[in-house]
Amino acid sequence: MTKPGAKPYLTTRNIEPENQETPIHFLRSDTIDYPYFYKRNHFPYPALTALHYFLPIIGLVDSPVLFSLRDIMNMPSKTIKAVLECSGNKRNLFEPKVFGEQWEKGAISQGTWKGVSLKTLLAASGIREEAAEVVIEGHDFGERKDLDNVYAYARSLPLNKALHPDTIIAYEYNGRPIPFKHGYPLRLIVPGWYAMASVKWIKQITFIDSKFAGPFQTIDYVYYPNKTNDEQAFPVTGIHVNSTIQKPLNMEILNTGTNVIKGIAWTGKGRITRVGISFDKGETWVDTELKNEHNAEYQWVSWSFTWFVTEKGEYTIMTRAADSCRRVQPMTPFWNRKGYGYNAIDTIKVKVE
Amino acid sequence: MTKPGAKPYLTTRNIEPENQETPIHFLRSDTIDYPYFYKRNHFPYPALTALHYFLPIIGLVDSPVLFSLRDIMNMPSKTIKAVLECSGNKRNLFEPKVFGEQWEKGAISQGTWKGVSLKTLLAASGIREEAAEVVIEGHDFGERKDLDNVYAYARSLPLNKALHPDTIIAYEYNGRPIPFKHGYPLRLIVPGWYAMASVKWIKQITFIDSKFAGPFQTIDYVYYPNKTNDEQAFPVTGIHVNSTIQKPLNMEILNTGTNVIKGIAWTGKGRITRVGISFDKGETWVDTELKNEHNAEYQWVSWSFTWFVTEKGEYTIMTRAADSCRRVQPMTPFWNRKGYGYNAIDTIKVKVE
């Protein structure tokens, strides 16, 4: 008999709606396949089939268009490998704690999306001059705790981001149709932005002449720096430069000798250029080895550091990523009331026995 | 199309060895079936088949015996429904933090074990007068970080606990053969004690005339009250009186109106008699409703409390269980260096919007 092995599972944060984390500490691949792709929902899953699916592009366009899935798949395609990171990733690490899903470090995933640039689709509809934003609405909807009406999940993009050639309407993930729970049949993918922008189960695309005021645009996914008022609030957009130590685990007990420390680093702007590691609480830093040094935009970098340790005791290990836009992880997170965009230097403790 | 649902998963703490938590917040059953039964291992799974399985009882017995599985299954059986709780359950809640697996609240499970009282088996071997303890050794073995040799997982019991009629050699869990990862074909079940005593994959049972000095008896599963020395250390044995709030989740956002608060409470000694709930940080307590008021020994009690809340704001919710041996959950946990037996009053925060 062969010894049975073990596999990691998604970490369950909630069931209704389904919110589950990628077991990021136990995965080493640069592509996260469906079973390990974190799930983040605001509402129950929509009842939706591809049978009669059409995508309308409406509002301030020259001529409204209704695309079939076949229309879209027949257009020139674009394939992008990208990190998707929930803006609440690492929310659990804020001090003082903030309310909401207590995501640890696994509300992040990476894979390859194939679709059509939104810009390509818009060649058919045109955009009127008055258009200021584009609203992407999903088929998912439901009640919110803070409001009385029923709302669909909907988000807007400014035109420059919507027309960026890497903003795509995707129909495949890792070479297969998008899994239903991740947005089948069509999902918007906005590489470089936190994943609230990458609307699932797209229902319609609408051009408007004003700032979109839906609750997922103006209440949620907003940084509120103050606990008791909404002053100085500003919207959540691009992914912050960040890193996560995957191995060892926090509070793990290690042997003396050689221990390989591994992790990932990512950013929403430019490329990761360095990942430093510190064993003295940030006094001094040494570079880790980047696995894919000439890493592509939007993708995480795997890094490793071979740590030779002879002295028993407790150690604090920190990692700090920097990107080509000169952004560096801060020592202290930017606390905000809803707990978005945590990207402080990653810190774990280990004991060497 | 019906809307797809969601199911919880075990929460992965480690893969080698496999350590995964029961998703206790998302289960409401009084019996936890295999897929949701937490897994706790010290070593890789043993390579073991039932084909040539025999159980030897040796050492200070009148006559050593070798039992086949058939022998054991033909003896008078005993069925016990019991909580199994890892002594490291809730370790993650200790402050200061302790090293080791960072179990949250799900290293606990409950189910029905069928087997033969160890006492019944011993009628065949007899026990010699010099015998002081019985050592139960599992088929699992491997290296430890703190020692140079290879060790099997082995634990001893004092004779009075070993001969208690509820201490059984189990061969079924919830009406089926024990799942391999939980000890197939035979597992010791010591109801009322933390689960390190319930040795899996039993290899042999040996009576000795001294205190067993194996590392899982004298290094691990020992309460060390001091961070820097081993003074005042004493062994981990019985389960402490305890409770866990399953719903709502910590840091959850709720609506005003009626919210049902639910959870479980359990103890290793006697029965749960009360579970109190407090909304003012422990100043005042009201009783929750116990679902199975005349609860059987060894089993958890499900409790609930209907909370009508009109005022928006942040709330701290605490629960405190008491048992028939007059034990009550303390406000402050008993900190110990290896992080065993956490049973402070369960505390969560919620926000009402």
Looking at beta carbons, which residues of chain A come within 8 Å of B48?
Answer: 1
Looking at beta carbons, which residues of chain A come within 8 Å of B351?
Answer: 99
Looking at beta carbons, which residues of chain A come within 8 Å of B4?
Answer: 45, 180-181
Domains A11-235 and A242-352 share a fold: no
pLDDT in tens, A133-164: 999 999 999 999 888 899 999 999 999 999 99
Residue A3 scores a pLDDT above 90: no
CA–CA separation, B85 and B126 (whole Å): 31
Answer yes or no: do A47 and B2 touch at CB < 8 A: yes
User: What is the side-by-side strand order in the sheet with B286-287?
Assistant: B252-254, B346-352, B313-323, B272-278, B286-287
| Percentage of chain A modeled with pLDDT above 70 | 98
DSSP for A58-108, written as a single string: EESSSS-EEEEHHHHHTSPPEEEEEEEE-TTTTGGG-SS--SS----S-SE
List the domain boundaries for chain A.
Answer: 11-235, 242-352
Nearest C-alpha neighbor of B196 from the set B141, B151, B236: B236
Picking from A12, A39, A97, the nearest residue to B251 by CB comes out as: A97
Phi-psi domain of B326 (left: phi exceeds 0; alpha: psi -120 through 50; beta: other): left
The CATH number of B11-235, from 1.10.10.10, 1.20.140.10, 3.90.420.10, 1.10.10.60, is 3.90.420.10
The CATH fold of domain B242-352: Immunoglobulin-like (2.60.40)
Closest chain A residue to the Cα of B246, Cα to Cα:
A14
Q: How far is CA A63 from CA A56, A60, A206, A211, in A?
A: 11, 9, 12, 22
Closest chain A residue to the Cα of B10, Cα to Cα:
A9
Looking at beta carbons, which residues of chain B come within 8 Å of A15?
Answer: 6-8, 26
Taking each continuous run of H as one helix and of E as one strand, the counts in chain A are 4, 24
pLDDT in tens, B53-70: 999 999 999 999 999 999
* Confidence at B344, pLDDT banded by 50, 70, 90: very high
DSSP annotation of A197 reads G
Closest Cα in chain B, distance from residue A11 (Å):
5
Closest Cα in chain B, distance from residue A143 (Å):
11
pLDDT of residue B3: 67
Answer yes or no: do A251 and B102 touch at CB < 8 A: yes
DSSP for A301-352, written as a single string: EEEEEEEEE-S-EEEEEEEEEEETTS-B--SS----TT-------EEEEEEE
Closest chain A residue to the Cα of B3, Cα to Cα:
A47
Answer yes or no: do B145 and A100 touch at CB < 8 A: no
Closest Cα in chain A, distance from residue B133 (Å):
30
Residue A351 scores a pLDDT above 70: yes
Answer yes or no: do B9 and A11 touch at CB < 8 A: yes
Please state the rounded mean pLDDT for residues A170-198.
97
Picking from A102, A180, A251, the nearest residue to B251 by CB comes out as: A102
pLDDT in tens, A201-235: 999 999 999 999 999 999 999 999 999 999 999 99
Closest Cα in chain A, distance from residue B12 (Å):
6
Answer yes or no: do B12 and A11 touch at CB < 8 A: yes
Instruction: Quote helix, strand, coil % in chain A, to nearest 5.
Output: 10, 40, 50
Contact A104, A21 (CB under 8 A): yes
Nearest C-alpha neighbor of A239 from the set A207, A277, A270: A270
Answer yes or no: do B145 and A23 touch at CB < 8 A: no
3-state secondary structure of A116: strand
Instruction: Tell me the average pLDDT of chain A.
Output: 96
DSSP for B249-300, written as a single string: -TTEEE-SEEEEEEEEEE-SSS-EEEEEEESSTTSS-EEPEETTTTPPTT--
Q: Dihedral of CA A264/A11/B101/B103: which sign?
A: positive
Answer yes or no: do B6 and A23 touch at CB < 8 A: no
Query: What residues form DSSP beta bridges with B151?
Result: B142
3-state secondary structure of A46: coil
Burial class (CB in 10 A: 0-12, 13-18, 19+), A228: exposed
Closest Cα in chain B, distance from residue A186 (Å):
17
- Omega before B215 cis (within 30°)? no
pLDDT in tens, B11-46: 999 999 999 999 999 999 999 999 999 999 999 999
Answer yes or no: do A253 and B12 touch at CB < 8 A: no
- Torsion (CA) A30, A195, A207, A151 in degrees, nearest 10: 140
pLDDT of residue A145: 86
ipTM of the complex: 0.94
Residue B240 scores a pLDDT above 90: yes
Picking from A1, A146, A314, the nearest residue to B48 by CB comes out as: A1
Residue A1 scores a pLDDT above 70: no
Residue B294 scores a pLDDT above 70: no
